[in-house]
C-alpha cells in the first residue's frame, strides 16, 4: 500500500510495446536530427562542428534525465484523474500531497529503467566516451535533481489540472525552455550580454552544464558545490510556488468541478 500506483504504472509502461518501439525510434530519429543540425550549425567562437555533434547529444541526454518530473509524473496524474481514481482516493485519504507524492514515486520508479536505457542507447549510438563512475554520478545527479525539483512537478500538476491534457502543454514548455537553456546551442550565440546572463541563471542550464562536465570528466568539487547551491535555491523556489499553486487548487470545490 505504500505506493499503490507502482504496479499500475509498471504494467502500463512495460506491456505497452509502443513505448519501447518509440524509445528505439526516438534514438534513431535523434541521430539524424543531430547529424543534420551539426552540419547546418555555424560554429561559434567556442564550438566547432564536430564538438557540436556531441554537444547536442549530451543536451538530449540531460533532458531525458529530467523527463520524469516535467512530463511523465504529471501525465500519470492526468491518467489517474481521467479514470476517476485520484478523485475517489482523495475522498478517503484527504491528504492531497501524500497522494501526489505517491504518483511521483510511481512514475519515477517505473520510468527509471526506461530513461536509463535511453541514456545507454545514446551513449553507445554516439560513442560517447563516458566512464562508469561518470555514469553512476549521472544517476546520482538524476536522483538529486528529481527530488530537488519536486516543486516543479507540483507546478506541472497545477497546470495539468487546468489544461486537462498535460503532455502537449509541457512539450511546448520544455521545447521553449530547452532552446533558452543551452540544450541545442550554447548561450554565447546570443548577442546581448544581459540576456545571456539571465539565461545562464536558468536551473535547466545549470543542470545541463553539470551533465556536460560530468560526461567530459571536467567537473571539480567547487563546480559541484556552486551548481548544487544554485539548483537547491531554484528547487526551494519551485517548491514554494508549487505548494502555493496546489493550495489554490486544493479547494475541494475546485477539484470536484474539475474532475467531472
* Contacts to another protein by CB under 8 A: 1, 4-5, 7-8, 11-12, 15, 83-85, 87-89, 91-92, 94, 252-253, 256-257, 259-260
CB 199 within 8 A of CB 217: no
Looking at beta carbons only, is 129 or 258 nearer to another protein?
258
Q: At closest approach, how far in Å is the CB of 22 from another protein? A: 17
Looking at beta carbons only, is 9 or 60 nearer to another protein?
9
Q: At closest approach, how far in Å is the CB of 118 from another protein? A: 23
Looking at beta carbons only, is 84 or 140 nearer to another protein?
84
Which long-range contacts link 84-89 to residues 24+ away (Cβ below 8 Å)?
84/259, 86/259, 87/255, 87/256, 87/259
Q: At closest approach, how far in Å is the CB of 246 from another protein? A: 16
Looking at beta carbons only, is 99 or 208 nearer to another protein?
99
Q: At closest approach, how far in Å is the CB of 198 from another protein? A: 41
Q: At closest approach, how far in Å is the CB of 17 from another protein? A: 13
Looking at beta carbons only, is 138 or 246 nearer to another protein?
246
Amino acid at each position: 500500500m505504500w505506493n499503490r500506483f507502482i504496479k499500475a504504472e509498471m504494467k502500463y509502461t512495460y506491456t505497452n510495446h509502443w513505448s519501447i518501439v518509440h524509445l528505439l525510434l526516438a534514438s534513431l530519429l535523434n541521430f539524424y536530427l543531430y547529424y543534420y543540425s551539426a552540419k547546418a550549425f555555424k560554429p561559434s567562437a567556442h564550438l566547432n562542428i564536430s564538438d557540436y555533434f556531441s554537444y547536442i547529444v549530451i543536451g538530449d541526454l540531460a533532458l531525458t534525465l529530467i523527463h520524469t518530473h516535467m512530463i511523465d509524473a504529471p501525465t500519470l496524474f492526468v491518467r489517474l484523474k481521467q479514470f476517476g481514481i485520484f478523485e475517489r482516493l482523495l475522498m478517503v485519504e484527504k491528504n492531497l500531497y501524500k497522494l501526489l507524492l505517491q504518483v511521483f514515486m510511481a512514475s519515477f520508479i517505473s520510468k527509471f529503467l526506461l530513461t536509463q536505457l535511453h541514456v545507454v542507447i545514446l551513449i553507445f549510438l554516439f560513442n560517447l566516451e563516458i566512464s562508469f563512475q561518470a555514469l553512476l554520478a549521472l544517476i546520482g545527479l538524476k536522483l538529486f535533481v528529481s527530488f530537488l525539483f519536486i516543486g516543479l512537478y507540483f507546478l506541472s500538476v497545477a497546470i495539468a489540472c487546468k489544461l486537462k491534457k498535460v503532455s502537449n502543454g509541457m512539450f511546448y514548455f520544455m521545447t521553449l525552455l530547452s532552446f533558452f537553456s543551452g540544450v541545442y546551442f550554447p548561450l554565447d550565440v546570443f548577442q546581448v550580454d544581459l540576456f545571456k546572463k539571465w539565461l545562464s541563471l536558468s536551473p535547466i542550464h545549470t543542470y545541463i552544464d553539470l551533465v556536460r562536465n560530468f560526461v567530459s570528466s571536467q567537473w571539480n568539487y567547487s563546480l559541484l558545490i556552486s551548481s548544487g547551491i544554485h539548483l537547491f535555491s531554484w528547487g526551494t523556489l519551485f517548491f514554494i510556488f508549487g505548494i502555493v499553486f496546489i493550495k489554490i487548487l486544493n479547494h475541494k470545490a475546485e477539484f470536484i468541478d474539475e474532475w467531472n
